[in-house]
Amino acid sequence: MHSLNKKKVKYLVASTFGASTHGQQVTELIREFHRQSAYVVPDEHVSRRKLLEQVRARYGGELSPYSAAAKKLIVKLQKFAAFFAQQAARFHALAHAPHASASQRHWARRIGGAVDTLGRHTTRWAAALKRTLRATLPHWQTVMQRVKSGLGVIRDNLKVLTSVKAGKHFGKGVHAYLAAQGAIYQKMMASAVAARKQITALKPLKLSNVRSMLGPDSMVVMGPKKVKIIPVTSLFEAPPPAAQQQGAVARFKGEEELASALLAMSQRRQPKIVFIAPGLPDVTGPQSPFTTVVHLLKQNNFKVMSWSPPNPQTGPQPGQTPLPQAMGKGVTWVVFAPPPPNPQMPMPSDNAQLVGLVKKQLAQGGGALFLLDGMAANPMMGMAPPYPFTGILRQYGIALKPGYFTVERYPARGGKHVAAPELQISHFPKTRISAPLQTLSTAFEGMAQGNMVEAGPTYVGLTKAVPGVVAHIFVQTPKSPDIWAETQSTSDRFNAHNDLASPIPLAAMARRGDTRVAAIGNTAFIYDALVNIPQIMSLNGQPVLAPRFPGNTELFLNTIRWLAGYQNMIAVSPRATVALRIGPMGGHSMLVRWASVLTPSALVVALGIGVFMVRRRS
């Protein structure tokens, strides 16, 4: 990564960790980000006070309105204090006046005491504002809220004193005095109301939670306008109980937290992602099989939405919109394949409308990622179901062969072999999307019933050059006699007459002007059930939990970043290798990067369409 953003703004990243194992991990992470970008400036092992001073020096402009308001409020509060002291003295005199009635003495002492208390509280509020002005990083909003509440008390008490109805109960002498002072009380009450409005008009401080969140074990990220505190509880996540029993230690999430903070600070507008999922419920919901990648998108400052085309017979259901929530420039669609038609239950297709919407999305400058799978020929139809977006992708120089699914030949029991739609790739073409993924194990899977393959990773290649279009393949299988693409699962060997020999291209990217498209010939590679498969590794002599296929989430995220025009952020995760620099090992540092999100799952999620996890080889 050559730059963090186009404006070349520098970001200060500091740590308040001491010389501990956790502190070493945080320090190594900050250094790694600095090595990848000169615009990430490290400030290691600083004191809390120094950090507060740096925050104030960098964001002092945001505090200025509060400081100016505080100085004016101090003057007003001092006037109130002097006024209440004067009033308390006069009520004291009324209480001790010759020939004063018992009622007058009672109410004069009572009102005088209340006014005296108000004066003393007002003096304390003014003193609190003075102390806050001298503080390194003041709790302005807390202090201002207290002063505002105090001004409300002043207003309410003066309102009572100006009430003629209430004054009649205070005795003749006190009532006469209150009537004479009525105009002054009204003026002071209006001043209190105006001061409250002045506090209300102050904009909320973005720095309001910095002081309270900044603990002894934190990471601090400071941009040109924002500061974010990442506490130790967000940086380290305890492993699941089962992994703890095997001795696994806390997972370090510093890389994803730091990358997320930098992304949020460097992007002026929050890019939008819309999952276009025909026939599926909310892809972004908690029951979705894609919760991991959805969570990662949100962590990377994307606004994530989901839309499914309404049934053409019944129309939109409650809560379902007739059109996607966002379209055009600044929006990237993730387009799933429509469900294959059922020959026994013919239904009207809304594919034409969906194709029209995708064309409109691209025409308006939006991006699109197409996820599809190779489907075996339907016995009743005699062929594989057509893919409705083939024509759109061909205009961008991307060629599809959705009637083919890719398999790899593996040894099985009894000296036999089986060809299964299970692929593991760890070497990629050198493109903006895939270059950082080198050596990362990435899995692509399909669906099989026994020895019959029904769906699997499919061919996504390039057409002849299209004028004005720049296209590249960014994922392909290695060249091997054990890997090929076929239309029917009839043998465990390559058939030169009907099959496609490897290498098989599985993903392509294309750009025409500002419009970008990509297609990946697999859907299962972003399933929770696949990306969350764990493995226990040994690092520095300690067992740690790591993902079995760390490339899956990185491939998806890098593709989305490129489509959204944030290719400069693709390498924010240093070398995008899914783990992080742990620390010294045998006298040198070892780069081991964690999976973006690790939530071990024993469930294999099935969808009504698309691909399912393949049955493991027996």
* Sheet strand arrangement including 331-336: 303-307, 272-276, 331-336, 367-371, 515-520, 505-512, 470-476
- DSSP letter assigned to residue 309: P
For residue 590, pLDDT beyond 60: no
Can you tell me the distance from the alpha carbon of 330 to that of 349, in angstroms, rounded to the nearest whole number?
A: 29
For residue 348, pLDDT beyond 50: no
Residue 144 phi, psi dihedral angles, 5° rounding: -65, -35
Can you tell me the distance from the alpha carbon of 511 to that of 132, in angstroms, rounded to the nearest whole number?
A: 55
Determine the average pLDDT of the residues in 529-546: 76
Residue 278 phi, psi dihedral angles, 5° rounding: -60, 130
Residue 576 and residue 510 in contact, taking contact as beta carbons nearer than 8 Å: no
For residue 118, give the nearest of 144, 91, 99, 145 by alpha carbon: 91
Give the per-residue SS3 of 380-418.
Answer: CCCECCCCCCHHHHHCCCEEEECCCEEEEEEECHHHCEE
Residues 6+ apart with CB under 8 A from 543: 246, 247, 248, 249, 536, 537
pLDDT band at residue 283 using 50, 70 and 90 as cut-offs: confident
Residues 6+ apart with CB under 8 A from 32: 574, 580, 581, 591
pLDDT band at residue 316 using 50, 70 and 90 as cut-offs: low
> Number of C-alpha atoms within 13 angstroms, CB side, residue 215?
9
pLDDT at 7: 56
pLDDT at 115: 93
For residue 576, pLDDT beyond 50: no
For residue 46, pLDDT beyond 80: no
Which tops the pLDDT comparison, 48 or 478? Answer: 478
Across all residues in the chain, what is the average pLDDT? Answer: 81
Per-residue pLDDT reduced to its tens digit, 232-274? 888 887 776 766 666 667 778 788 788 878 877 877 778 999 9
pLDDT at 86: 94
Tokens representing residue 87 in the block: 């009033």
For residue 36, pLDDT beyond 80: no
Which residue is associated with the tokens 């029951």? 287
Residue 573 and residue 593 in contact, taking contact as beta carbons nearer than 8 Å: yes
Looking at 38-47, 73-82, 353-362, 394-403, which range is the least confident one? 38-47
Q: What is the CA radius of gyration of the chain?
A: 34
Per-residue pLDDT reduced to its tens digit, 170-204? 777 888 888 888 899 999 999 999 999 999 999 88
pLDDT band at residue 386 using 50, 70 and 90 as cut-offs: confident
Q: Does residue 548 come out as left (phi exceeding 0), alpha (psi in the -120 to 50 range) or beta?
A: alpha
pLDDT at 540: 59
Continuous segment of H or E residues that includes residue 420? strand 417-420
For residue 609, give the nearest of 346, 345, 281, 347 by alpha carbon: 281
For residue 27, give the nearest of 603, 609, 581 by alpha carbon: 581
Determine the average pLDDT of the residues in 360-388: 81
Can you tell me the distance from the alpha carbon of 200 to that of 46, in angstroms, rounded to the nearest whole number?
A: 35
How many helical (H) and strand (E) elements, i.e. helices and strands, does the chain have?
Answer: 15, 28
Can you tell me the distance from the alpha carbon of 544 to that of 247, in angstroms, rounded to the nearest whole number?
A: 8
pLDDT at 618: 42
For residue 167, pLDDT beyond 80: no
Q: What percent of the chain has pLDDT over 90?
A: 41
Single-letter amino acid, residue 230 = I
Which tops the pLDDT comparison, 298 or 264? Answer: 298
pLDDT at 161: 84
Residues 6+ apart with CB under 8 A from 176: none
Per-residue pLDDT reduced to its tens digit, 439-479? 889 999 998 776 677 889 999 999 999 999 999 999 999 99
Determine the average pLDDT of the residues in 209-216: 74
For residue 16, pLDDT beyond 90: no
Continuous segment of H or E residues that includes residue 236? strand 236-237
pLDDT at 312: 66
pLDDT at 19: 81
Per-residue pLDDT reduced to its tens digit, 108-123? 899 999 999 999 999 9
pLDDT at 383: 58
The three-class DSSP label of residue 536 is strand
pLDDT at 544: 67
Helix extents (H) in 8-101? 21-36, 48-95
Bridge partner residues of 589 (DSSP): 584
